[in-house]
């Protein structure tokens, strides 16, 4: 369905755009460490969308939690090497939506994920640059291979985003959501060419911190255009905000 190809392409782009992406990675790491400070216990940290691990303070998490679970649909060798020295860190390849198998068969009704909700030892959950990406490859797959109509794709995309949000809110620990909030395409003079809502009109939780991520610098994407994403941090369990 394109997950391996996308992971390899993202890893290559992060190397080419190291200067522009470095600040974004640093903000992500800072936000995760801020989330850690809100935790009243330090049993297990669950990071969803761990990917390349470049936006995760791996060493700090290992030192502050008894166990760290880093989850994504797949991990490249470079990510595996980064955690070899940490005995309490586990990489888990898993379908976070718990729906990809159904979508592969042409179904467009995603299921509400439940994995880890019964784990009472989870102190921290982080959804990392993930929620707006969940519908992209499934939508592309369905349009190309199953001839699913645009209206049904839009419904699926909204469902996948809303269900991930509902899933996060079902955890009892501190829950930190780091995600794109608004995407802007611009030309080489800085003029805006297009803007779009990566949440497919799903209501976004309030942010406590925001920054711009130049995800596609001029010259990296098509013709003379680039893309800038507004990224925001939300804490979904309000009872922990003052902790």
Residue 30 inside a domain? The answer is yes
Share of the chain above pLDDT 70, in %: 95
Residue 199 inside a domain? The answer is no
Task: Give residue-wise pLDDT tens across range 127-137.
Answer: 999 999 999 99
Cβ–Cβ < 8 Å for 60, 33: yes
In this model, does residue 67 exceed pLDDT 90?
A: yes
* The pLDDT value given to residue 242: 34
Residue 192 inside a domain? The answer is no
Residue 70 inside a domain? The answer is yes
Confidence bin at 16 (pLDDT 50/70/90): confident
Residue 137 inside a domain? The answer is yes
Task: Give residue-wise pLDDT tens across range 168-215.
Answer: 999 999 999 999 999 999 887 788 889 999 999 999 999 999 999 988
Q: Where are the beta strands (DSSP E) in the chain?
A: 44-48, 67-72, 89-93, 122-128, 174-187, 192-196, 209-216, 225-235
In this model, does residue 241 exceed pLDDT 50?
A: no
Residue 123 inside a domain? The answer is yes
| Model confidence, pTM | 0.92
- The number of domains in the chain is 1
In this model, does residue 239 exceed pLDDT 50?
A: no
- The domain containing residue 168 runs over which residues? 3-175
Task: Give residue-wise pLDDT tens across range 106-124.
Answer: 888 898 999 999 999 999 9
In this model, does residue 243 exceed pLDDT 50?
A: no
- Whichever domain contains 28, its CATH number is 3.40.50
Residue 168 inside a domain? The answer is yes
β-pair partners for 55: none
Residue 149 inside a domain? The answer is yes
Cβ–Cβ < 8 Å for 128, 168: no
**What is the rounded distance in angstroms from the CA atom of residue 154 to the CA atom of residue 159?**
9
Q: Is the dihedral of CA 222, 225, 226, 230 positive or negative?
A: negative
* The pLDDT value given to residue 221: 59
């Amino acid at each position: 369905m394109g997950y391996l190809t996308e992971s390899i392409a993202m890893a290559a782009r992060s190397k080419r755009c190291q200067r522009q992406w470095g600040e974004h990675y640093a903000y992500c790491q800072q936000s995760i460490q801020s989330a850690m400070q809100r935790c009243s216990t330090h049993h297990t940290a669950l990071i969803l969308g761990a990917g390349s691990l470049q936006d995760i303070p791996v060493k700090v998490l290992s030192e502050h939690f008894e166990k760290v679970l880093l989850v994504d649909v797949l991990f490249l060798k470079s990510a595996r090497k980064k955690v070899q020295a940490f005995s309490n860190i586990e990489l888990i390849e898993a379908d976070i939506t718990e729906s990809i198998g159904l979508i592969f068969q042409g179904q467009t009704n995603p299921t509400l994920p439940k994995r880890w909700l019964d784990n009472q030892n989870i102190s921290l959950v982080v959804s990392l640059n993930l929620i707006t990406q969940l519908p992209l490859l499934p939508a592309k797959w369905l349009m190309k291979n199953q001839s699913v109509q645009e209206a049904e794709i839009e419904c699926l995309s909204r469902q996948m985003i809303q269900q991930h949000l509902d899933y996060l809110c079902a955890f009892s620990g501190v829950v930190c959501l780091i995600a794109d909030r608004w995407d802007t395409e611009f030309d080489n003079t800085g003029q805006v060419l297009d803007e779009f809502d990566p949440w497919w009109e799903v209501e976004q939780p309030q942010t406590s911190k925001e920054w711009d991520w130049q995800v596609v610098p001029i010259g990296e994407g098509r013709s003379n255009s680039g893309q800038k994403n507004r990224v925001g941090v939300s804490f979904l369990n309000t009872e922990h905000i003052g902790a």
